[in-house]
Structure 1
Amino acid sequence: MRRFLPKTLTTQTIWVLLIGLSVSHFLSMVIYSGDRTESLSMLGGRNMAQRIASVSHVIIETPPEWRGRIVAALNEPTFRVSISPESTLVNVQNDGEQLTLLKQFLRFKIGLPTNTPLAVQLFETPHDGGFLGQFHPNQWMHMQMMSEMHGISAHQSLRVSFTLPDGKWLNFATDIPESNPFWSPTSIMSLISMAVAVIVLSIWVVRRLTVPLRTFAQAARRLGKDVKADPMIVSGPLEVQEAARAFNEMQDRLQRMIENRTQMLAAISHDLRTPITLMRLRSELVEDETDRQKMLETLDEMEHMISLTLEFAKQEAETEERRKVDISALVSSICDDLEDAGKEVLFDDCEKILFECAPVGMKRVVSNLIENAVKYGEAAQISVTMDTDALQIIVCDKGPGIPEDQLKKVLQPFYRCEASRNRDTGGVGLGLSIAQSIVEAHGGELILSNREEGGLEAKVILPQ
């Protein structure tokens, strides 16, 4: 179910506003339509009563022998008049405020005395039931019940009957004009117009509000690739300006922290050279040749570690200018050099792949991974792929791999799987750390994993 829900802030806001305002608009239309229908019904009944009163005055003042002709002339398809010995309305009961008001209005307009019989009936009739005056009241009651049972829409009809001075009954049957249906073209157009306006305004407003979020996302990606990237531009509403300043302060603290750590590491490594030099001089005074040789080898190893540490610190401190590089050609040149040295290297040739990076740093990463594969895994197989999201450089070997619990540890500085501490067999433990540092400076990731068919796979993922 959740996968069908909107994911972006823009679509979520549009749906919330659209549903909320649509429901509110619909309920308002229902309330308005009910009040309007009731008002029109009362107004229509009053107008029909006024017409009945006017016709009644004409018939009352006309001689009895002329009344038949006048009644025939006044009859219309929606307004029937008849004179009969008895009332056409039977068992009529006044029910409702509207019916009472109509009866009082008719008696006043016609000028009927209070003792003159007057029957008024107001009821719902089906649209397709024909004209009211054609049926007996019992038939109308039956039609009304059938319309309710079968769901036939109905409208109001008014029937009036009162006695003339000569004792006969004057009967009227007419329809009260009905209001427009609720789902009229106007109401549908109103609802559609409201929905379109909500969508357009929501898209415009939300896009303006989400611009700072996109700016923060771009700044975060830029910081992940280059900690010395330019700070964010402080602009927009006060809240956005405050967040931008906080982001710039965080970036500044990160830069100072990295610089301080690098400078401290470089200072310590540099200061260690002095005691090593003194120990080398003193080792010359050792008479035992074997002991002196072992001391010199230890000092050489310490000096080599210090040199790599200084190089590691220098690598983090320096910022190489980035430019477009043909990664395929870069990898191919490294493989050619190793093949010339007699190493088993297989590169899956691919088309030209341009990628913006630090050329020297990227060459160092690829060289380190391929040399490790050749040195510890007998042979190296390299592939380079590029898709819409990222560049991938994969280096595989045929060696024994690395224990699962040490796959992440080998990326730490000075950690070695080989416990003898012999740099010819286990190295110093900075190669992968330097490679990882360079890859992370590009906003990428270095992943080590053991292959099912045997050997180690080193994957470099660099986002575009």
Structure 2
Amino acid sequence: MRRAPSALVSIGGFGVAVAALSVATTATIVLVSPAPPAARMSAAEAIGALRHPTPALSRQLAVEPQPGARAPALEALIASHLRRPPSTVRVTWLDAAGSREERERAQPAARAGARQGVPMIFRERGNGLFERLDAARDAASYRAMLLGVPHAPFALSVRGGEGRWWRVAPVRPWLTVWQRNVLASLIVTLLLLAPLAWLFARRLTDPFRALAGALESGAVAMPQGGPRELREAAAAIAAMRDRLAAEAGERARMLTAIAHDLRTPLTGLRLRIETAPEPQRARMIADVERMQAMIGEVLSFARAAAQPPELLDVRPVLADIVAGMPSHDGALLLRDGEPAWISAPAPAFRRAVENLLRNALDYAGGGTVSVERTETVVRISVEDGGPGIPAVDRDRLLRPFERGESSRSRSTGGAGLGLSIVRDFAIGQRGSFTLTDARGGGTRAVLELPVA
């Protein structure tokens, strides 16, 4: 048989696959997407934004002009076009690319014999021929074309009234084109990975859910799917469960044998006590009867626990138990309610309920029985109007052979096994048993069992 991969290999392989897919998707989208174009603007656009701002160029009023490296050639060109003194116009590069671009343009002009800082402008004549515009002879055409030459981003500041400056600068978007491309790649990667991750997580956790369901339902066979570690854990749990079941069965058989063997000497002791003088004879007989009752409870509990579970309609069973209890008329009342079904050994269920009702009769003279059903549990409650049980004693009274102070007398004192039998029955059926205060005083015993 092929050996199943371990959880480490499965999870590690998934992590590597996720990383590879993420990197490959991001790299593909980034490489395929065009590079973001460099932001360019002309002097004509900046001058136009002084009058009417555009989505690409903003205008605001400031106390000082925009700081930074200045562009003297652009300042002179714009001041001349606006017919303003050069001192009222300030052009500032927004990054180092602008000043570097201005120096690169000045170098070819210097080599060609033009004045430093005066760029050469060529105009198309037709048939693929161009002519150079003379700044002195064709001043209007030269200046108009120079105003439309694109440059690196810059800020134009023009001084207005009251010594304030109007600033025109490119609008800086929150996300550049390149950033949007990267963000889109990450979103696409997430959309690709989310279904894959969900499917993998579902496949990885299905065996764990199957194992938990098998343990919850008490199934005989443990699921064998999933990674190797989970299979080994399921096999170990199954072996431990079988071992615990065998030990519990052996313990029950030993307890049954001991209780059964004790009956014979107790019967002989009872016969010998009959010849003893009073009042010792009555007390000894009472002690022997108590011991026989304890042995009877142990035997009944062991026999009931060994019975297989069956489907039980709770309300008819409770009605039969209430009708068969030795009580006065009206001492025990079963309230109306909806039908409820459980799966449990019938003798063990009857014995647990009889113990609760017997306690209500012995210590409170009666009580009320009610049944509630939810989607998952059937809740059986027994309320009485007795003296109640202090909160500090409730956990103690659920242990075997523990009795409350009110049960020390010979008339009401039992073996101290009633509540512990109810608790053990609830635990064995994957339910719970609790003791709380009743609404009008007294005790409320609540037995919760899974819905069949």
Could you tell me the TM-score, scaled by structure 1's length? Answer: 0.61
Match of 2:139 in 1: none
Aligned partners of 2:167, 2:195: CA distance in 1, in Å? 45
Percentage of pairs with the same residue: 28
How far is the alpha carbon of 1:446 from its aligned partner? 0.8
Q: Tell me if the contact between 1:380 and 1:398 (Cα under 8 Å) persists in the aligned partners.
A: yes
Q: Tell me if the contact between 1:25 and 1:191 (Cα under 8 Å) persists in the aligned partners.
A: no
Match of 2:301 in 1: 312
Aligned partners of 1:233, 1:142: CA distance in 2, in Å? 70
Match of 2:215 among 186, 198, 220: 220
Match of 1:242 in 2: 232
Match of 1:400 among 360, 384, 387: 387
Q: Which amino acid aligns with 1:441?
A: G
Aligned partners of 2:371, 2:381: CA distance in 1, in Å? 6
* CA gap 1:452/1:24 in 2 versus in 1, 3 angstroms: farther
Match of 2:290 in 1: 301
Q: Which amino acid aligns with 1:432?
A: L
* CA gap 1:330/1:402 in 2 versus in 1, 3 angstroms: same
The two structures, once aligned, show a CA RMSD in angstroms of: 4.9
Residue 225 of structure 2 corresponds to residue 232 of structure 1: no
How far is the alpha carbon of 1:242 from its aligned partner? 1.5
Residue 444 of structure 2 corresponds to residue 463 of structure 1: no
Aligned partners of 1:256, 1:151: CA distance in 2, in Å? 86
Q: How does 1:401-440 map to 2 (within 5 A)?
A: 401-418=388-405, 424-440=411-427
Match of 1:199 in 2: 194
Structure 1 unpaired stretches of 5+ = 1-15, 45-86, 122-131, 155-179, 224-228
How far is the alpha carbon of 1:458 from its aligned partner? 0.5
Q: Deviations over 1:16-38 (max 9, x none)?
A: 99x9999989997998699934x
Aligned partners of 1:266, 1:319: CA distance in 2, in Å? 14
Match of 2:155 in 1: 145
How far is the alpha carbon of 1:119 from its aligned partner? 7.0
Larger mean Cα displacement after TM superposition, 305-314 or 389-398: 305-314
Q: Deviations over 1:3-61 (max 9, x none)?
A: xxxxxxxxxxxxx99x9999989997998699934xx76xx9xxxxxxxxxxxxxxxxx
- SS of equivalent residue, structure 1 residue 36: coil
Q: Tell me if the contact between 1:382 and 1:396 (Cα under 8 Å) persists in the aligned partners.
A: yes
Q: Which amino acid aligns with 1:252?
A: D
Residue 213 of structure 2 corresponds to residue 181 of structure 1: no
Q: Tell me if the contact between 1:321 and 1:358 (Cα under 8 Å) persists in the aligned partners.
A: yes
* CA gap 1:448/1:142 in 2 versus in 1, 3 angstroms: closer
Match of 2:369 in 1: 382
Larger mean Cα displacement after TM superposition, 286-295 or 247-256: 286-295
Match of 1:322 in 2: 310
Q: Tell me if the contact between 1:396 and 1:456 (Cα under 8 Å) persists in the aligned partners.
A: yes
* CA gap 1:294/1:382 in 2 versus in 1, 3 angstroms: closer
Match of 2:255 in 1: 265
- SS of equivalent residue, structure 2 residue 155: helix
Match of 2:277 among 277, 283, 288: 288
How far is the alpha carbon of 1:205 from its aligned partner? 0.5
* CA gap 1:222/1:209 in 2 versus in 1, 3 angstroms: same
Aligned partners of 1:389, 1:120: CA distance in 2, in Å? 89
Q: Tell me if the contact between 1:401 and 1:450 (Cα under 8 Å) persists in the aligned partners.
A: yes
Aligned partners of 1:120, 1:29: CA distance in 2, in Å? 45
Aligned partners of 1:342, 1:257: CA distance in 2, in Å? 45
How far is the alpha carbon of 1:302 from its aligned partner? 1.6
How far is the alpha carbon of 1:428 from its aligned partner? 2.0
Q: Deviations over 1:242-276 (max 9, x none)?
A: 12122213212321332233233223323323432
Q: Tell me if the contact between 1:22 and 1:191 (Cα under 8 Å) persists in the aligned partners.
A: no
How far is the alpha carbon of 1:239 from its aligned partner? 1.4
* CA gap 1:33/1:315 in 2 versus in 1, 3 angstroms: same
How far is the alpha carbon of 1:388 from its aligned partner? 1.8
